[in-house]
Structure 1
Amino acid sequence: MTRPDPAAGCAFCRIAAGTAPARLIAGTGATLTFLPLRPVHPGHVLVAPRRHVRDIWEADEETAAAVGAEVLRVAHAVRAAHRPDGLNVIQSSGAAATQTVPHLHVHLVPRFEGDRMPHLWPEEAETDPQTLDDSVRRIRAALPAPTP
């Protein structure tokens, strides 16, 4: 029995294949940069790997490095083109994090004083020292050794 191809219904894979329209900005061998269908305002762009990677947890180091390098390159272009007061770099994985397209992508959203983007952080964060120390221990224990 064959398993369905997860990329077959993927909007971003269709853009990468050239079978769906998009406002392309740039492309490398590993990545594409394009406008989202509904940008927050001019300068809002997406960087995605060409190959289908569902989310950050499916990305290998090579894909992550290619996407990261392109995010940095495009961030400088967005700054030069739009002169924002700041920039949000947003990567959402999973429905709870508001990922709506199941293909890894990074939003670069230029920010301007008084723009319509909401604040991204709650006013108060968890500060219970025992909870924070437990989180540090759990993440350290789960962290694989760095690649040389």
Structure 2
Amino acid sequence: MRAEHHDPDCVFCGVEAGTQPARVVATTPDTLTFLPLNPVHPGHVLVAPSRHVADIWDLDEATAAGVGKAVLRAAHAVRAVHRPEGLNVIQSSGAVATQSVFHLHVHVVPRFTGDRMPRLWPEPAETDADRLDDSARRLRAALDAPGKPFLRGEGPFLQHE
């Protein structure tokens, strides 16, 4: 991996470079799969791009494809080795979403009845149909936009409510 694709202050870049300790379980030219320092339980792995990518908004399609393939391979390996009852695939972008290492990574977490993982989804709540319709309309427009300006952080789709 070329040095210009690493962040010298990033712990996951250090794992890729071999300067940070890790239990690496797989590598590809584009990805690294390894155990986190504090896994939920055995079988919990992280899949990260080899080059520094801060979050999902910094991710290009080719790297996304490589990460997606590595996640799928990891999910099948976790299933074969640990026989979980279920599986969570979790990617968090931004501190408010609980991202704590700002190098994109995907958690592949085997799940078992009564395990120590918390519930991930809140209880159902009332929704505003007009707001949902507006959201669906704006998302369709963003996804249909020529040149996909939202991929470059431009355009009228960056409104936050």
So what's the TM-score if we normalise by structure 2?
A: 0.84
Deviation at 1:125, TM superposition (A): 3.9
2:39 and 2:33 mapped to 1: Cα distance? 13
SS of 2:131's partner is helix
Identity %: 70
Structure 1 unpaired stretches of 5+: none
Deviation at 1:41, TM superposition (A): 0.5
Asked if the contact 2:24/2:35 (under 8 Å) is kept, the reply is yes
Deviation at 1:6, TM superposition (A): 7.2
Equivalent residue pairs, number: 143
1:97 and 1:55 mapped to 2: Cα distance? 11
Which residue is 1:75 aligned to? 75
Deviation at 1:127, TM superposition (A): 2.3
- Aligned-residue Cα RMSD (Å) equals 1.7
So what's the TM-score if we normalise by structure 1?
A: 0.91
SS of 2:117's partner is coil
Which residue is 1:109 aligned to? 109
Deviation at 1:146, TM superposition (A): 8.8
1:126 and 1:68 mapped to 2: Cα distance? 34
> Does residue 32 of structure 2 align to residue 21 of structure 1?
no
Which residue is 1:34 aligned to? 34
Q: How does 1:28-107 map to 2 (within 5 A)?
A: 28-107=28-107
1:146 and 1:72 mapped to 2: Cα distance? 29
Deviation at 1:51, TM superposition (A): 0.1
